[in-house]
Structure 1
Amino acid sequence: MFITSFHYFRGFAILIIIAGHVHVGNSEVDFPIFTNLVSGSTALFVFISGYLFQHLQKGVFNYPLYLNKKLKYVILPYLICSTPAIINIAMTGNFHPLLGNVTTIEGSVINIFTGRHVTAYWYVPFAALLFISAPIIVKFSLLKHNMQLLILFTFSIIAIYAHRPIGGLNPFHSFIYYIPFYLFGIYAVVNRDSIEKIKKYNVIFLIITLLLAYIQIRLMGIIGSSHKDLFTFSGIDIMYLQKVSLLLFVMTSLDLIENKNVKPLSFFANISFSLYFIHGYVLILLARLSINDTLLNYGFNESGAMLIKFTLVVAISSLLSISIIKLLGKRSRYFIGS
């Protein structure tokens, strides 16, 4: 069954993710609460993936068929979209400093297996671990409600202390951090009645989300996502709690737009995965055109420059997505995921 409001949520999620990657000058420091709200929003994508994984399940889980689809529509587009960046970095030797002193081949292989070469590409190596783990993950939906809650709580505690990996370089670390969001997506499908019971608290979840974004900066002095080595202690990750609260707000509020016709969100939802693959390249292009300096030199303040840059990234990425889809038709899914 097609859920219109959840479709809109996909469109909203990709816009928030892109917003988290758009920076101008000291915008992160100057607008810390906004930065905290949009940073780490890939958690929304992970939740959506888990939700759709369960929502689209029909009958007995067919693992070979599932893997085949993921290879064609996720891994293959990732490899194709990665190729220009991998070649460019290999030719220039401009590997990320976190990779250390590596040879061209070593650096290229590390980039492919970590997604370090393009903004947000770390998601696919992590997602590959989700795909591999699917036969185990699918059993989560069959557990009793209390056991599901216990697993979610346990994995969440681990994630809160694990934080995100430095530079997104460790897919296994990302898996530890994000698997609760994926399972929460499955939980939301299986336990719709439980979500229904807490809908009256949607405004409270929104207030908690805003408060956590404020607390993260005012009391803990942290702006944006927290990254660390897996086995070092850095306290709890407030960002994790904030995104859980945001998801609770979204899930308890979706009914408000179920019967609405929100064409822009539907449009972005339809091309959300291609936007994910393409927007990193658009950011690189705009950086080479010195867009930040250009906007600031034209007299825009940081907030205005951020809005214009965000609009440019979304518009250019959308135009490229639509152009490729028009050119390749259904085959575009093999190239850009949409």
Structure 2
Amino acid sequence: MYLHSITMLRAIAILLIVGSHCHRISNIMPSNFIHRLLINITAGGTVIFVFLSGFLYHHIFYLKGRTNIFLKKRAIRLLIPYLILSIIPIAYKIYSQPNFWSSYIHHEKTGILNEYIYPIFLFLIGGDHLVAYWYISFAMLLFLCFPLHNMFIKANYKGQILILAITLSISLIVQRPPPLSLLSIQSLIYFTPVYLFGIYCSIYKESMYSFFRAKEYLFLFPFLIILLLQTYLGIEGNAEKNFFSYEGIDSILPQKIFLCLFLIVWLRRFEGFDNKYVMLLANTSFAIYFLHGYILRLLYIIKEHLEIEEFSQPLLIFFASLVLIILTSILIATAIKKVFKDNSSYITGY
């Protein structure tokens, strides 16, 4: 059964993800309460993406007995476009920042292996050549674990609750890895309970929809309380740290989990709502994810060329940038699809 509510949630997720990357270009500063509130609203959009991936794995692949083609489908949708769209930014990084991986490579050693092969490999593993590309290496690790996810699905109710409680507790302490860490395994540990929770919500979706109908506020209130507390206490954005250090408890993860629960129940009210623009935004979400870094980089170049250091209306610039990046990404994705037809999925994932 096709779920329009899940389609709408995909559209919201990509808006949050792109929005989280528009802070710097628009001079959204965490010292300002309203700006910090916006940062915390948009932070952690990946949590919703991972939640949806888990939900759809059970709903589309497991229930229909298609787990045997799951990895192939994910490779076509994510890995191949990632490799193609990484060519230009990796080439530029190697040319403009040859010492980017100096902590991993001894650059006094020359030759193709040290100057090109190793850096290319590290960029592909870390995803540090373009904004948000770190997600792919982590996502492929997550998808490779699908036999373990099947075991979770087959476990009894109490076993599933126990697994979720243990993995979530670990995630809250481990947190996300910092940039340039090459720790996809830390991202795997951090996001796995979110993926499993998405599966869990798909398994029990009918009971959840029935029990929480008209009670969405039970999820909305905790989300708002955590959001406002974060903002009031001066916490901004995602919590990131090295694996073995302890820096408190992550607050973005529970905030976004409550948001997922609120949205998945609330959007159920609009199951019959079929808007072509929302549908287009959701269907091109992977393409937007892959392309928005290019457009964002172009905006930075324009900003530097015009010698703009800050804006008088950063909130206005933020929303203008968000709309511009989303629309431009959709236009490029649809143009590529018109030219390459079904093969466009190998280029942009759409």
> Is TM more than 0.5 here?
yes
Q: 1:166: how far off?
A: 0.4
Residues 77 and 335, structure 1, Cα contact 8 Å, conserved in 2 = yes
Single out whichever of 183-192 and 252-261 deviates more from structure 2. Answer: 252-261
1:42 is aligned to 2:46: yes
How does 1:1-338 map onto structure 2 within 5 Å? Answer: 1-23=1-23, 24-30=26-32, 31-56=35-60, 57-58=62-63, 60=65, 62-63=67-68, 65-93=69-97, 96=100, 103=107, 104-105=115-116, 106-167=118-179, 169-196=182-209, 197-219=211-233, 221-290=234-303, 300-338=312-350
Match of 2:112 in 1: none
Residues 29 and 223, structure 1, Cα contact 8 Å, conserved in 2 = no
Please tell me the residue identity of whatever aligns with 2:52: I
Alpha carbons of 1:175 and 1:163: their partners in 2 closer, same or farther (altered >3 Å)? same
Please tell me the residue identity of whatever aligns with 2:43: S
Single out whichever of 288-297 and 159-168 deviates more from structure 2. Answer: 288-297
Specify the SS of the correspondent of 1:201.
Answer: coil
Q: 1:90: how far off?
A: 1.1
Specify the SS of the correspondent of 1:166.
Answer: coil
Please tell me the residue identity of whatever aligns with 2:73: K
Q: 1:97: how far off?
A: 7.2
Could you tell me how far apart the structure 2 residues matched to 1:198 and 1:98 are?
A: 53
Could you tell me how far apart the structure 2 residues matched to 1:4 and 1:98 are?
A: 47
Could you tell me how far apart the structure 2 residues matched to 1:213 and 1:33 are?
A: 7
| TM-score (norm: length of structure 2) | 0.89
Q: 1:222: how far off?
A: 1.7
Specify the SS of the correspondent of 1:117.
Answer: coil
Residues 47 and 182, structure 1, Cα contact 8 Å, conserved in 2 = yes
| TM-score (norm: length of structure 1) | 0.92
Q: 1:137: how far off?
A: 1.0
Q: 1:40: how far off?
A: 1.2
Count of paired positions: 335
* Unaligned stretches of 5+ residues in structure 1: none
Please tell me the residue identity of whatever aligns with 1:158: I
Q: 1:36: how far off?
A: 0.6
Please tell me the residue identity of whatever aligns with 1:192: K
Could you tell me how far apart the structure 2 residues matched to 1:26 and 1:97 are?
A: 29
Q: Deviations over 1:283-318 (max 9, x none)?
A: 111111117977787x75111111111111111111
Residues 284 and 333, structure 2, Cα contact 8 Å, conserved in 1 = yes
Residues 296 and 302, structure 1, Cα contact 8 Å, conserved in 2 = no
Could you tell me how far apart the structure 2 residues matched to 1:315 and 1:287 are?
A: 17
Residues 5 and 264, structure 2, Cα contact 8 Å, conserved in 1 = no
Could you tell me how far apart the structure 2 residues matched to 1:135 and 1:98 are?
A: 37
Q: Deviations over 1:79-116 (max 9, x none)?
A: 00111111111122266579666643333211101111
Residues 99 and 107, structure 1, Cα contact 8 Å, conserved in 2 = no
Q: Deviations over 1:212-264 (max 9, x none)?
A: 11212323x32100100011101100111101110110111121211123332
Single out whichever of 232-241 and 5-14 deviates more from structure 2. Answer: 5-14
Residues 28 and 315, structure 2, Cα contact 8 Å, conserved in 1 = no
Could you tell me how far apart the structure 2 residues matched to 1:149 and 1:293 are?
A: 54
RMSD, matched Cα: 2.1
Specify the SS of the correspondent of 1:337.
Answer: coil
Specify the SS of the correspondent of 1:252.
Answer: helix
